[in-house]
């Protein structure tokens, strides 16, 4: 289910949730990532971007999951990236050649074992311009509303 206010023209509210048919079986290679309990506010801090996107453009998708440490830029610099960027976004920027690319969209941006962002858009690929992510913390009310177990309609009320 996508966010009800998603806007493809402005690329706003760019996130969705998927309900799995069965639980994920976690092990030493498959682990859950936490959701933020507070907003990420560490400009100049680093985060990990991971994904299956191409490592160059044009290029082929890799066989192995890729990951890279990226630098979170100050929010004022993020906002000046484009009229599309709001405080519901977070931006990263490394040197040219390092960043998100085709196929990474929807992937996680993680800092301190918490998912702070979701790959949304940028100027492909790693052209020396910031990558723009959906800021997960901005949507925690909506996320929690949809991931909490729903009470059964047949529940007995005391």
pLDDT tens sequence across 4-25: 999 999 999 999 999 999 999 9
Q: What digits encode the pLDDT tens for the residues 55-91?
A: 887 888 899 999 999 999 999 999 999 999 999 999 9
Say if residue 76 is preceded by a cis peptide, omega within 30 of 0. no
Question: What are the tens digits of pLDDT across the range 95-107?
Answer: 998 999 999 999 9
C-alpha span between 25 and 21 (Å, rounded): 12
Domains of the chain with CATH codes: 46-146 (2.40.10.10)
* Selected residue with higher pLDDT from 79 and 127: 79
Average pLDDT, the chain: 90
Model confidence pLDDT, tens digit, residues 35-53: 999 999 888 899 999 999 9
Reference 118, options 130, 106, 100, 104; nearest CA is: 106
Q: What are phi and psi of 79, to 5 degrees?
A: -65, -30
Spatial CB neighbours of 116, under 8 Å, sequence gap ≥ 6 = 36, 40, 47, 90, 109, 110, 133, 135, 136, 137
């Amino acid at each position: 289910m996508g966010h009800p206010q998603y806007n493809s023209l402005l690329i706003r509210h760019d996130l969705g949730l998927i309900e799995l048919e069965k639980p994920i079986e976690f092990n030493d290679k498959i682990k859950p990532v936490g959701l933020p309990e507070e907003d990420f506010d560490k400009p100049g801090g680093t985060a990990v971007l991971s994904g299956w996107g191409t490592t160059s453009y044009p290029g082929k998708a890799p066989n192995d999951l890729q990951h890279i440490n990226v630098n979170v830029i100050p929010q004022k610099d993020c906002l000046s990236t484009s009229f599309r960027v709001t405080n519901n976004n977070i931006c990263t920027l490394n040197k040219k050649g390092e960043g998100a690319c085709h196929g990474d969209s929807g992937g996680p941006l993680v800092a301190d074992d918490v998912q702070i962002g979701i790959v949304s858009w940028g100027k492909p690929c790693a052209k020396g311009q910031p990558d723009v992510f959906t800021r997960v913390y901005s949507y925690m009310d909506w996320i929690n509303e949809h991931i909490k177990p729903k009470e059964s309609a047949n529940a007995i009320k005391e």
